[in-house]
Amino acid sequence: MIVSVVSMPEGVVARTALSEVRERLAAPDFVIVDIDEGEDPPSDEQPLARLLGLDDKTWDWLGRQYEPVRAEYHAGVVGCVVPVIDGSHIKHIHVFAGERHLVTIHHGPVGLIENFIGRLPEETPSDGTTAVFLFLHGVLEAFRRATSQALLEVGEVEEAMFEGQASQHVHQLAHLRRRASQLHRAFLPYAAVAQEFLTHRRMANPGISEERRVLNRTHESTVQLVMMEINSLRDETRRAADTYASLVADQQNLVINKLAIASVIFLPLSFLTGFFGMNFTYLSNHLSSEKTFLWLGIGMQVCALFVAMYVVLYRTHWRQLRDGGPHGAAAGGPHGAAAGGEQSDRS
């Protein structure tokens, strides 16, 4: 267990023992404490609330690993479990705050905690309430940055898809959809708990100061904004996946159309070959000369081939298919447009 104490307003960080933290929390001075219980804390250890001198019946969940998102208020002290982004993972930090102290508890190192402690000498919160809102603001900003980064990646994948589909685009979209789902699953419980908790506190304490009201409103609006951005990310990833499926379907349709055109060319040839290959009496007795073979056997096939090529080249969208579909024809610039106009005139 690593225990760090930040003396305010100096912002000096010092490592100490848990017994000293208990004394500092009982003192009237404003102090910020960070407790890292490690990735695998011992199971036979006493509850952290008891070690800190707190009511272990009320705060028995404090520091408990795998505790879900929650928020409670007792006797002027708030305790909550907050989801935070740490790289590609979601971790949960326990926050215990009163007027003269702020305690953060987590399992393993968390970059957000280090950044928060590093900013304390410049931001210098005056009390525990301001400090906890400052910490929560950092949590929300981390979610916003992660969401914005994912949105930018979705846009880049979409641009690359229109240039040419590749299997890596599928993997990238799948990764981004998982990321959006991860952010949504982590933040949705916190958004619901924060809205419920702040609304209840306003109703239970109508005499709250204007400064606290501003902090509450700012936090609520930021929570709603982050929730909207995460929902937007989910919609964008779904739309990008639909776009990829549509582009793949268009390519498959182009291939099928080209196969159909090839069938138009070879179908009459196959019919004539099969017809004159039948062993009818009339064909065997009256159409057996070399001249007849040249006129009917070869001449009709050549005529059928010319007719099929005319239909393909001048009566269908062969040029459009050859250029890669409607997008390719549009990308051909003025020459492509002129060719399309000539084709329309001939049609």
Residue 43 sits in a domain whose CATH number is 3.30.460.20
Residue at which a domain ends, from 123, 145, 177: 123
Cβ 162 vs Cβ 247: under 8 Å: yes
Domain that holds residue 268: 252-346
Q: What is the pLDDT of residue 341?
A: 43
Q: What is the pLDDT of residue 139?
A: 93
Residue 196 belongs to some domain of the structure:
no
CA angle 80/85/89 to nearest 5° reads 115
The residue behind tokens 């225990």 is 3
The residue behind tokens 């050859």 is 322
Residue 218 belongs to some domain of the structure:
no
The pair of structure tokens assigned to 170 is 């599928």
Residue at which a domain ends, from 67, 102, 123: 123
What number of residues does the chain have? Answer: 347
Residue 80 belongs to some domain of the structure:
yes
Q: What is the pLDDT of residue 211?
A: 83
Q: What is the pLDDT of residue 324?
A: 54
CA angle 211/62/130 to nearest 5° reads 15
Q: What is the pLDDT of residue 277?
A: 73
> Distance between CA atoms of 199 and 77, rounded to whole angstroms?
17
Q: Of 164, 143, 157, 11, which Cα lies nearest the Cα of 86?
A: 143
Chain mean position to CA 90:
14
pTM reported for the whole predicted model:
0.73
**Can you give the pLDDT of all 347 residues of the chain as single tens digits?**
788 888 877 778 888 888 888 888 888 888 898 999 888 766 657 778 888 888 778 888 888 888 899 998 887 889 999 999 988 899 999 999 888 889 999 988 888 888 888 888 888 888 888 899 999 999 999 999 999 999 999 999 888 888 877 778 888 889 999 999 999 999 999 999 998 888 887 777 777 788 888 888 899 999 999 999 999 999 999 998 888 888 888 888 878 877 877 777 777 777 777 777 777 776 666 666 677 767 776 777 778 778 777 776 666 555 555 555 544 444 444 344 444 444 444 43
Q: What is the pLDDT of residue 330?
A: 40
Residue 259 belongs to some domain of the structure:
yes
Q: What is the pLDDT of residue 198?
A: 85
Q: What is the pLDDT of residue 286?
A: 67
CB atoms within 10 A of CB 322: 12
The residue behind tokens 């500092």 is 24
Q: What is the pLDDT of residue 347?
A: 38
Which stretch of DSSP H or E encloses residue 75? none
Does 9 sit behind a cis peptide bond, omega within 30 degrees of 0 on the bond before it? yes
Q: How far is CA 184 from CA 127, 192, 268, in A?
A: 32, 12, 59
Residue 174 belongs to some domain of the structure:
no
Helices 111-123 and 128-163, axial angle in degrees (round to 10): 130
> Distance between CA atoms of 325 and 328, rounded to whole angstroms?
5
Longest dimension (CA), the chain: 121
Q: What is the pLDDT of residue 223?
A: 93
Cβ 63 vs Cβ 47: under 8 Å: yes
Residue 275 belongs to some domain of the structure:
yes
Q: What is the pLDDT of residue 231?
A: 95
Residue 241 belongs to some domain of the structure:
no
Residue at which a domain ends, from 73, 97, 123: 123
Q: What is the pLDDT of residue 236?
A: 92
Chain mean position to CA 342:
46
How many structural domains does the chain have?
A: 2
Residue 194 belongs to some domain of the structure:
no
> Distance between CA atoms of 261 and 295, rounded to whole angstroms?
26
Cβ 30 vs Cβ 120: under 8 Å: no
User: What 3-state DSSP class applies to 66?
Assistant: coil
Q: What is the pLDDT of residue 188?
A: 94
